[in-house]
Amino acid sequence: MDLRKKLLIASSNPGKLREIHALLDDLGITLVTPDDLIISLEVEEDGATYAENASRKALAFARLSGLLTLADDSGLEVDALNGMPGLHSARFSPLPKATDADRRSYLLDKLKGRSQPWSARFRCTVALATPAGDVQLTEGVCRGEIIPTERGRAGFGYDPIFLIPELGKTMAELTMEEKNRLSHRSRAVQAARPLLVALLK
């Protein structure tokens, strides 16, 4: 594959970027970020689905940069909260400028008094967009449950309270290699790999 081929990852989230780099580094393409290209673009993520948000973001960055672009939207869906926070996972806390810790605390407050286990899933949709406006979508899901005490220092977001029962570990206790075998984002990105290879040929 042409080493000059570039893929723009439409994210400034350091944890997300590390995961995607680890998943795609072996493809022999150059992965770049908006910061690398000195691009500043705010895309309103107010769609009705993960796919709509991911597509909107990927298209906006692809058209501005002239590069094939990968964007994703993901969320945590908790059954005891009727699928919340879902699309609003990153904006779940009512606090202004809420941190990941604030959002985890707010979620656990919402679950107080509800019977356990608190079954949940992480869901992710990846969008690959070309500057011409073509979009292809893939999805990944990781099932587990929410626990009331944080465990682990790796990962980000809700990872420290998301337990994967078959491993007995939270997402924040996994190594990058372990996480990239089973996470929602890794499954969506892995499904996008053949599409990516075909688009860059």
Question: How many residues are recorded in the chain?
Answer: 201
DSSP class of 115: P
The residue with greater pLDDT, 2 or 137, is: 137
Interval 94-116: pLDDT, tens: 998 999 999 999 999 999 999 99
Q: Is residue 1 part of a domain?
A: no
Residue 62 in any domain: the answer is yes
Cβ atoms of 102 and 125 closer than 8 Å: no
Write the pLDDT tens digit of every residue in 116-136.
999 999 999 999 999 999 999
Q: Could you list the residue range(s) of the whole structural domain that residue 184 is in? A: 6-200
Q: Could you give the number of structural domains in the chain? A: 1
- pTM, two decimals, is 0.90
Task: Confirm whether 36 is a catalytic residue.
Answer: no
From 73, 79, 102, 109, the catalytic residue = 73
Q: What is the CATH number of the domain that holds 162?
A: 3.90.950.10
Q: Which of 41-45, 61-65, 110-114, 118-122 has the lowest mean pLDDT?
A: 41-45
CA 187/CA 182 separation, integer angstroms: 7
